[in-house]
Amino acid sequence: AAAPIKVEVMPYKVHRIDAPSNIVETNVAELTDFYKLMYKMRRMEIAADMMYKAKFIRGFCHLYDGQEAVLTGIEAAITKQDSIITSYRDHCQHVSRGGSVLSLMAELMGKKEGATRGLGGSMHIYNRAGNFYGGNGIVGAQIPLGAGIALAHKYRGEKNVCITMYGDGAANQGQKYEALNMAGLWNLPVIFVCENNHYGMGTAEWRAAKSPNFYTRGDYIPGIKVDGMDVLAVKNAVAFAKAYSLENGPIVMEMDTYRYHGHSMSDPGSTYRTRDEINAMRTERDPIERVKKLLLSNGVDAGDLKKIEKEVKKEVDEAVEAAKTGTAPPAHWLWKNMYMDPAGAAMRGVLPGQYVVPEFDPTYAK
Amino acid sequence: AAAPIKVEVMPYKVHRIDAPSNIVETNVAELTDFYKLMYKMRRMEIAADMMYKAKFIRGFCHLYDGQEAVLTGIEAAITKQDSIITSYRDHCQHVSRGGSVLSLMAELMGKKEGATRGLGGSMHIYNRAGNFYGGNGIVGAQIPLGAGIALAHKYRGEKNVCITMYGDGAANQGQKYEALNMAGLWNLPVIFVCENNHYGMGTAEWRAAKSPNFYTRGDYIPGIKVDGMDVLAVKNAVAFAKAYSLENGPIVMEMDTYRYHGHSMSDPGSTYRTRDEINAMRTERDPIERVKKLLLSNGVDAGDLKKIEKEVKKEVDEAVEAAKTGTAPPAHWLWKNMYMDPAGAAMRGVLPGQYVVPEFDPTYAK
Amino acid sequence: MTVRDALNSALDEELARDDKVYVLGEEVGEYQGAYKITRGLLQKFGPDRVKDTPITEAGFTGIAVGSAFAGLRPVCEFMTWNFAMQAIDQIINSAAKTLYMSAGQINCPIVFRGPNGAAAGVAAQHSQCFASWYSSVPGLKVLAPYDAEDARGLLKAAIRDPDPVVFLENEILYGQAFPVTPQVLDKDFTLPIGKAKVMREGKHVTLVSFSKMVGYCLKAADTLAKEGIDVEVINLRSIKPLDKDTLIASLKKTHKMVTVEEGWPQCGVGSEVSALMMEHAFDELDAPVLRVTGAEVPMPYAANLEAAALPQIDDIVKAVKSIA
Amino acid sequence: MTVRDALNSALDEELARDDKVYVLGEEVGEYQGAYKITRGLLQKFGPDRVKDTPITEAGFTGIAVGSAFAGLRPVCEFMTWNFAMQAIDQIINSAAKTLYMSAGQINCPIVFRGPNGAAAGVAAQHSQCFASWYSSVPGLKVLAPYDAEDARGLLKAAIRDPDPVVFLENEILYGQAFPVTPQVLDKDFTLPIGKAKVMREGKHVTLVSFSKMVGYCLKAADTLAKEGIDVEVINLRSIKPLDKDTLIASLKKTHKMVTVEEGWPQCGVGSEVSALMMEHAFDELDAPVLRVTGAEVPMPYAANLEAAALPQIDDIVKAVKSIA
Ligand SMILES: Cc1ncc(C[n+]2csc(CCOP(=O)(O)OP(=O)(O)O)c2C)c(N)n1
Ligand SMILES: Cc1ncc(C[n+]2csc(CCOP(=O)(O)OP(=O)(O)O)c2C)c(N)n1
Ligand SMILES: [Mg+2]
Ligand SMILES: [Mg+2]
């Protein structure tokens, strides 16, 4: 399973930097891990979709299916000491950074067993111990935040980067350009990862960006465009970018990818793009199918993959059922963790006279 | 006086566009006008400096001396139907757009005879009739505003541009990049004029910008770098840019210029740059001296220029004296022009029970 | 008529009436509006009048304000008001202050609109109420419609107004239907800015609220009526100017007042109403003015906590009873 | 000791005490601070600890907040708070809400500081007071020092605090000198966040204010004392949490209260104090709580109008007399 396999990925497009090789080394063990993780992501998101439709989940719910190779490839190239921050489309970071499907599902359902105890919901999932900084609901805000996390790495002399993920829509945000400039001035170890799924809500990239070549939009900062539907292309490019960034500072990566679902649950996802386009993506570029084919062509038995699929399905189904039986957070949790040091001061409830001193209690033991 | 003179200006640096010719046509009449206007700007700003030191002026006061060729060249290339918007460094736009030195000086002194009746002060001078939109105190804010003014021109089918002026410090602001993108998407007739005087307050351009090539910072938007100490270079380039912009949309201009004074009055202007640097600018690149030399070498009599200088000095001195004898705005002007339609609603004064319905009265007749 | 249709028809008519009016914002055009408030407008008025923008609030707000300075009448949609924080400098420093700074030369006829405050299950970053912040700023007018009549009448008034108007809608109300009179459907129907509406007359206690909470107050009033407490319900409609005369008149009748809002308590709209009654009607008060407000917490996601963080009809009933 | 030196020494000592503390902002380094609050710090601590930024508030605030999430303790200077409007989304949606949204996982130990409110002759875009806005937001702490003791004790407390603190200084106070006790100069001197200070005891009327207005209130109290009116002066110090216990205790003694602030009246700090007294001490009130505030206008430039737009000592005296 460890025998090296060489795969040719789509050549990288580059901006102000030399392209890394597009021959990527992997092996069956790694590919199998990718398959497992990506398949889990896929099942999880599909389960979330169903649970939303069954009204177990409310509010916004942004699914990642179609984009699995991006995050999976990133994780393969970095360590858990490297940091990640992303937008509201954050379910899969939760599991890739070590969280369980159960705690994700419980969070989506607003249960106390959830990743953020039912307080954050779909858009606000974090793993501080795993250097995952969320889950940010405001388009673009995570970009300077990510540069700041990178600043902390550098400040402490750590040899780590911050992967700062954002969409093609977010790529036009002014704060991105401010962050790029400072990251450049201060040589921050930040990798700006633009997940170009070609739509920001219902707006096609070219309707929102005069220049939709997002890998060049760092202007004076180097950039690289990657086939984001190919986990190996991503892994290889991120490894390259990490090495570059630790040495030199910021770099922009554009991941050419696709979201299968609509933007969030109220968007059917089919008014601003054609069914044909979606189908072509699914049949021609699906990131999971690609790995499956590679595994099969490298001697892995179809039955073994089925077994993985079955296991994953079971894990996800069980997580869904367990999440359903979870409990709503107790009423007094409303008053936890507003401040780390509340300084004894009471906050006000809905009615006059209702005052509570909020408690710092990240354990939620009581 | 109308006989054509051909002058070779410093070749333009360009980005994504072909450079215009650097042979500029002018004549003695035009050069004389330039001399008059620039000399007036210079005297005016020096007078403001003295009046500030004599405590007739308070708050912030940002002077334009050194940069006169930029605005003068712009005005020579556009009409009063074209619009201008700038930062707080706005005294000279007031006169170039038709305002009097007296109303400027009175404004600086907070007198009711002032350009904005003593309400705006140094940073907030406008001329709506002359399509001058101020005088904006927030760094960068005028950039999208200028794009919006351009949008209005285009919306109404007018063949006019909006000159949107900002500094090298402001050039890093995120809202500039947002405005550039939309101006590009919508082909707005906006000319983004970066007055690169090489410092944003005490910060040298290269300490604030990873890439201080401001004419290239539009990335996918074309740009041109101009010797901003040469009024002819500016005039020629702006005429070129206006024609381009009306046809194609936004363009970025970087004007290489210099501010002789400190940033505002509390800044001696000499801690972050050397006296030598300032002196070299004054002796080698002064925009007024340049025009003077051209006039003299084209047969104009030194005495004629002295006469102009004398007239201008007189105008400025008289304006200063007249402004000093101006009167403070009457107390009830506090309550004018907060709303165009106050809808009969009273606003509150300092004390309970002090309520006033603000009045719309741009004439300030009473 | 739903609030959505009321807003949509108001936009439609004002776009038709005045060709200086145009709409811009994220997804307002081809997508027909994230909440479908602009449905059909692109098709009818074309892309110059109904402009899709990138997700760049600071930039497009500045562009909208600039175009208003230059004589157009933009209606600038924020997908929600939470996102307008990226653009608040342009709203305050450019739109609100320029008429004054320019000594009356440059007015800014613009409407900033979109859903404000809590929706359902959208958590802390998507649930903030901005009524009190904007209402503090001289130069702005701040409106908050409750029903279809408000939505039509206030939005049309806002678009025709020569000053910058902050227009705070409520996502949960969009789909709610209200009966309207034929007069409301008139294409020149507008409501006066700066005037509150007495939704229900009563003599024991005055309830003061705006937006969605007006409906809650009306329901609370029904409940209280059964217990013999006769409640007057005031719909502020305009948060700035705030119609203190109507409030004082009501207090003079009932001598008791409770304010209700979904926003946070500190320096909220209720604080202002309370302080005004203190200053202007102290001797009329038979009991303290009480505030019912959103709890002082970032909005939690879970449905039960979210409900606990927002005023419920029961809370209003309780507050009224505590002084009735 | 001047307020400037108090702030400067506090920064100096905290930078020396904890190497996670760093300072960033425009002109804080080589230029020594636009108002010289950071004088000498770059020379002493070097460019990693004292970072000059470009004029990009949204970006550097986001960077500062991100670094605080990741364990550093930034002190983020705004040249004035007016410019922080460009960054307010990061202050509210990122800094204030993340501890709660992350269920206690990610705290944000950051201080946002700079001069707030009116300076002299800087007109409408440079004179806004943001105390009430920020104080409305749960998750933030909001402090406003008056004298050198406050400046040192509160800034050092803020830097040591694990939560985001909005620190509102006043440009006009920077150069003002105040006597300080040796205790104030101790390198571990801090003041408690959330506690007001009674600056002067009195029994007839309570004056409540913060920042520069505390000095005005003290002067007004002197004047009033000559006329036999004995005024208690409270310096809020902390606008959030607001120390209502100290306010109520004072009211119970004096039964009369006047609030004084330079910010606009609607939904101001005074509104909140008034509403709190209404709810918590209605029966103690012998007169309405009155508010003295900045006038409801964008700040005009001319000195006479500027003075008319801000509370003067005489105004305070008048307001107190009207109820004394
Ligand atoms: C500042 C801001 N404006 C608008 C929104 C509403 N909104 C949420 S996601 C989104 C589209 C983002 O598109 P993109 O950046 O391409 O990311 P994707 O959803 O495709 O992953 C919009 C407009 C927001 N959350 N924040
Ligand atoms: C958003 C904002 N941040 C900070 C300031 C304070 N400030 C005023 S001018 C200035 C420097 C601007 O430099 P530049 O853009 O180069 O223009 P110049 O003054 O050189 O003409 C700064 C930092 C401000 N007015 N607005
Ligand atoms: Mg996208
Ligand atoms: Mg400059």
pLDDT at C83 (0 to 100): 98
Query: What does the pLDDT read at residue B1?
Result: 82
> What is the Cα–Cα distance from B308 to B72, expressed in whole angstroms?
17
Which helix (H) or strand (E) segment is C317 a member of? helix C313-323
Q: Are D222 and D208 in contact (CB under 8 A)?
A: no
A21 C-beta neighbours (distance < 10 Å), count: 12
Helix (H, G, I), strand (E, B) or coil at C170: coil
Contacts of B347 in chain C (CB under 8 A): 138, 241
Residue range(s) in chain D whose domain bears CATH number 3.40.50.970: 3-185
Q: Which residue of C has its CA nearest to A207?
A: C54
Please tell me whether the peptide bond between C241 and the residue prior to it is cis, using omega within 30 degrees of 0.
yes
What's the whole-number mean pLDDT along residues B50-68?
98
β-pair partners for B127: B132
Q: What confidence tier does B166 reach under pLDDT thresholds 50, 70, 90?
A: very high
The CATH number of C197-323, from 3.20.20.150, 3.40.50.920, 3.40.50.720, 3.30.565.10, is 3.40.50.920
In angstroms, what separates the C-alpha of A65 from chain C's closest C-alpha? 21
Give tens-digit pLDDT for B66-95.
Answer: 999 999 999 999 999 999 999 999 999 999
A228 lines ligand 1 (CB under 6 A): no
Q: What confidence tier does D103 reach under pLDDT thresholds 50, 70, 90?
A: very high
Question: What are the domain boundaries of chain A?
Answer: 5-324, 332-366
**B132-160 residue pLDDT tens:** 999 999 999 999 999 999 999 999 999 99
A311-336: pLDDT as tens digits: 999 999 999 999 999 999 999 999 99
The per-residue pLDDT of chain C, averaged, comes to 98
- Measured in Å, residue A263 CA sits from the centre of ligand 1 at 9
The structure tokens listed for B212 are: 């201080």
* Test the A interface: residue of D22, D67, D88 with most A CBs within 10 Å: D67
Whether the pLDDT of residue C251 is over 90: the answer is yes
CATH architecture of A5-324: 3-Layer(aba) Sandwich (3.40)
Asked if A171 and B178 touch (Cβ cutoff 8 Å), the reply is no
Q: What is the DSSP string of C78-125?
A: -SSGGGGGGGHHIIIIIIITHHHHTTTS-----EEEEE-S--SS--GG
Q: Mean pLDDT across the stretch D13-33?
A: 98
- Residue A142 CA to residue A84 CA, distance in Å, equals 10
Q: Which residue of B has its CA nearest to D58?
A: B174
In one letter, which amino acid is B114? G
Q: What is the pLDDT of residues C54-81, one digit of tens each?
A: 999 999 999 999 999 999 999 999 999 9
C-alpha of residue D86 to centroid of ligand 1, in Å: 19
Atom of ligand 2 nearest to the CA of D27: 23
Percent of chain B with pLDDT over 90: 99
Over residues A183-237, the pLDDT tens digits come to: 999 999 999 999 999 999 999 999 999 999 999 999 999 999 999 999 999 999 9
Residue among C86, C240, C268 minimizing CB distance to D136: C268
- A243: how many CB neighbours lie within 10 A of its CB? 13
From CA B134, how far away is CA B131, in angstroms rounded?
A: 9
Q: Which residues of A touch D54 (CB under 8 A)?
A: 178, 181-182, 185
Average pLDDT over residues A78-101: 98
Strands in B223-227's sheet, in edge-to-edge order, are B13-15, B223-227, B251-256, B190-196, B162-167, B83-85
- By DSSP bridging, strand B347-348 and strand B355-356 are antiparallel
> A289: which residues sit within 8 A by CB, 6+ positions away?
none
Question: Is D43 touching B (CB cutoff 8 A)?
Answer: no
Taking CB atoms and an 8 Å cutoff, what residues of chain D touch B172?
Answer: 54-56
Ligand 2 pocket check for B43: Cβ under 6 Å: no
Position D323 scores a pLDDT of: 97
**Nearest partner of B115 among B134, B139, B131, judged by Cα:** B134
Distance CA C267, CA C265 (A): 6
Residue B247: CB atoms within 10 A of its CB come to 9
Is D267 close to C264, i.e. CB distance below 8 A?
no
What are the E-state strand segments in B17-176? 23-26, 83-85, 162-167
Mean pLDDT of A40-46: 98
Residue D170, pLDDT above cutoff 90? yes
DSSP assigned state of B302: H
Strand partners of residue C234: C198, C208
Residues 6+ apart with CB under 8 A from C133: D133, D136, D267
pLDDT, tens digit (0-9, with 9 covering 90-100), for D208-254: 999 999 999 999 999 999 999 999 999 999 999 999 999 999 999 99
Average pLDDT over residues C86-100: 98
Pull the structure tokens for residue B244.
């381009």
Residue A223 one-letter amino acid: G
Q: Which of D278, D284, D319, A351 is nearest to C285 (CA)?
A: D278
Determine the atom of ligand 1 nearest the C-alpha atom of A62.
19
Length of chain D: 324
From chain C, pick out residues whose CB is under 8 angstroms from the CB of B364.
Answer: 103-104
pLDDT higher than threshold 90 for residue D77: yes
Number of residues written out for chain C: 324
Give the rounded distance of the alpha carbon of B281 from its chain centre: 20
pTM of the model: 0.99
Residues of chain C with CATH 3.40.50.920: 197-323
* Span C141-165, average pLDDT: 98
CATH topology of domain D3-185: Rossmann fold (3.40.50)
Strand-pair partners of B71: none
Q: Using pLDDT thresholds of 50, 70 and 90, give the confidence band for residue B301.
A: very high
Q: Which of C120, C297, C302 sits opposite A118 (nearest CB)?
A: C302
Cross-strand partners of B336: B359
* D84 neighbors B21 (Cβ within 8 angstroms): no
Query: What CA–CA distances, in Å, run from D137 to B95, B340, C96, D100?
Result: 45, 32, 23, 12
- The C-alpha of D225 sits at a distance from chain A's nearest C-alpha, in angstroms, of 34
> What's residue C278's pLDDT?
98
What 3 state SS string does chain D have? CEHHHHHHHHHHHHHHHCCCEEEEECCCCCCCCCCCCCCCHHHHHCCCCEEECCCCHHHHHHHHHHHHHCCCEEEEECCCHHHHHHHHHHHHHHHHCHHHHCCCCCCCCCEEEEECCCCCCCCHHHCCCCHHHHHCCCCCEEECCCCHHHHHHHHHHHHHCCCCEEEEECHHHCCCECCCCHHHHCCCCCCCCCCCEEEECCCCEEEEECCHHHHHHHHHHHHHHHCCCCEEEEECCEEECCCHHHHHHHHHHHCCEEEECCCCCCCCHHHHHHHHHHHHHHHHCCCCCEEECCCCCCCCCCHHHHHHCCCCHHHHHHHHHHHC
User: What values do phi and psi take at C75, rounded to 5?
Assistant: -110, 110
Nearest-angstrom CA–CA distance, C308 and C311: 7
How confident is the model at residue C19, as a pLDDT? Answer: 98
The DSSP code sequence of C174-216 is TT-B----HHHHSTT----TT--EEEE--SSEEEEE-THHHHH
**pLDDT confidence bin for A16, thresholds 50/70/90:** very high
pLDDT at A366: 87
Strands C238-240 and C141-143: antiparallel
| CA distances to A63, A77, A132, C314 from A42, in Å | 9, 21, 20, 43
Region of B255 please: left (phi>0), alpha (psi -120 to 50) or beta: beta
Token pair belonging to D6: 């108090």
Report the neighbours of A using a cutoff of 3 or more CB pairs below 8 angstroms. B, C, D
DSSP category for residue B269: S
Which residue of chain B has the CA closest to D311?
B350
> Considering only alpha carbons, which residue of chain B is nearest residue D298?
B338
What is the percent of chain D with per-residue pLDDT over 70, rounded to a whole number?
100
From the list C47, C45, C38, C126, the residue with the least C-alpha distance to C77 is C38
Residues 6 or more apart whose CB falls under 8 angstroms from that of B75 comprise B37, B96
Cβ neighbours for A276, distance < 8 A, ≥ 6 positions apart: none
Query: 């009265």: which residue's tokens?
Result: B361
Q: Does C241 touch chain B (CB under 8 A)?
A: yes
The verdict on whether C171 is a catalytic residue reads no
Q: What's the pLDDT score for residue C82?
A: 98
For the stretch C309-319, pLDDT in tens is 999 999 999 99
Strand, helix or coil at A73?
helix
Question: How far off is chain C from B304, nearest CA to CA, in Å?
Answer: 38
CB atoms near residue B28 (< 10 Å): 18
Instruction: Classify residue A131 by its DSSP letter.
Output: T
DSSP state of B170: G
Q: Hey, CA dihedral for D206, D207, D210, D215, is it positive or negative? A: negative
The reply to whether D272 belongs to the active site is no
Give the Cα separation of B199 and B89 in Å (integer).
14
Q: How far apart are CA B342 and CA B347, in angstroms?
A: 9
Dist. CA B85 → ligand 2 center (Å) = 15
Q: Is the pLDDT of residue B220 over 90?
A: yes
Residues 119-158 of D with CB under 8 A from B: 119-126
Which residues of chain A are within 8 Å of residue D138 when distances are taken between CB atoms? 338, 347
Residues whose Cβ atom is located within 5 A of ion ligand 3 = A 167-168, 197, 200
Task: Indicate whether this complex's ipTM tops 0.95.
Answer: yes
- Output the pLDDT for position A1: 83
What's the confidence (pLDDT) of residue A266? 93
Tokens of D70: 């990741």
Residue found by looking up tokens 């920077």 in the block = D174
* Neighbouring chains to C with at least 3 Cβ pairs closer than 8 Å: A, B, D
By C-alpha distance, which of C241, C312, C297 is closest to C265?
A: C297
The answer to whether D71 faces chain A, any CB pair under 8 Å, is yes
What number is the average pLDDT over the span C125-138?
Answer: 98
pLDDT surpassing 90 at residue B366: no
Average pLDDT of chain B? 98
Check CB contact of C265 with chain B, cutoff 8 Å: no
Phi, psi for residue B334 in degrees, rounded to 5: -50, -30
| B122: phi then psi, degrees, rounded to nearest 5 | -50, -40
Number of H helices, E strands in chain B: 11, 12
In the three-class reduction of DSSP (H, G, I as helix; E, B as strand; rest coil), residue A80 is classed as coil
Contacting D residues, span 4-23, partner chain A, CB-CB under 8 Å: 22
Q: Which of D13, D14, D26, D57 is catalytic?
A: D57
B115 vs B104: CA distance, rounded Å? 6
Q: Which residue of B has its CA nearest to A144?
A: B174
